[in-house]
Amino acid sequence: MTMRRAAAAGILVLTACGEPKPAASDSAKATPPAGPTLGAGESMLAVPDGKIWYKKSGTGTGTPIILAHGGPGFSSYYLKSLEALGDDRPVIRYDQLGGGKSGPMTDTSLFTIAHFVRELDSLRSSLGYDKIHVLGHSWGTILAYEYYRAHPEHVASIILASACLDIPAYEASAKSLVAKLSDSAQKAIKDGEATKKFDAPSYQHAMEEFYGKYVYLRPVKADLDSIFTTANQAIYNYMQGPSEFTITGTLKKYDVTPQLGAIKVPVLYTAGQFDEVGPDVVRGFAKKTPGSRFELIPNSAHITMWDNPDVMVKVVRDFLHSADSTHRK
């Protein structure tokens, strides 16, 4: 759900903790580790269980929007193109605890939807925003929906990009795409799932083939490096699983399709033309959500913000203008 990386030489498995290190001396223990270097608009916020990094950008005065990235365990770096919405409103991009520039998180009891909902509400509250638009992508759509369910009074609208609101349906879509891969990739995936040897080079190469067709079409290497060198693979593995198409984590049975009819704010659903989640699956969510819109982002896979940023920004901008008008009535 965005995503574990398959690289040409094998999958890049990176966690926020890195390799074990020798015990520090007393003097070293007295010095806290340096935090990330902060640029313009960037800050660190103390939240329950740690500190999160966020960036506030934009000169517009409309209702703010907070961006919830995918993963889980990754960062908001790939959402940078959506900062173009700042002409109209404040745009808040943040890294969920455990990934990106935010602080570490290794306690599996915190690898829960409820934890990330609390974290998002802490951010909203600290910024002094009573009402926000929430944009979630991939795993972030679960977070955005669950935030609305917990705090409807603070949500003006929801944008659900490449929605993963029914994990069994998402997994079925991904499996159907696996069946379109090369014979060697299909065999490698079958063997990997049977033996649980997900580090096998053949499984890694199969992942690379899948991702290049259904996750991102035209990635910039520097952007990929920025995403994957700050990923927390432990969170991804625990909640998602070893890959985008092998779902074994705690989210495996997540499905809120029956509850979509109860949403009472404007909702936009988007999906990429070649999206792993399945555009028809996302259309189905829209049909079950009163008054919602669905937009297909052409010439793009799962990460529409990379593959077709201009269209993605326009679609979201137009929706927000409409939602703002509705909200003011």
| Catalytic residue set | 138, 275, 302
CA dist 327 and 91 (Å) reads 18
Q: Check: CB of residue 169 under 8 Å from CB of residue 281.
A: yes
Sheet holding 293-297, edge to edge: 42-47, 50-57, 91-94, 65-68, 132-137, 155-161, 267-272, 293-297
- Nearest residue to 1 (alpha-carbon basis) of 144, 170, 134: 170
Q: Are 123 and 91 in contact, with CB atoms under 8 Å apart?
A: no
How far apart are the C-alpha atoms of 67 and 79, rounded to whole Å? 8
Per DSSP, what are the bridge partners of residue 10?
7
3-state SS assignment for residue 256: coil
Spatial contact of 123 and 47, defined as CB atoms under 8 Å apart: yes
Residue from 326, 323, 304 nearest 82 by CA = 304
Q: What does the radius of gyration of the chain's CA atoms come to, in whole angstroms? A: 19
**What φ, ψ does residue 284 adopt, rounded to 5°?**
-60, -40
Neighbours of 325 (CB within 10 A): 10
Determine the Cα–Cα distance for residues 76 and 57; give it in Å rounded to an integer.
14
Token pair 């939807």 in the structure block, residue:
113
β-bridge partners, 46 = 51
- Parallel, antiparallel or unpaired: strands 293-297 and 267-272: parallel
| Cα angle for residues 259, 300, 283 (degrees, 5° grid) | 25
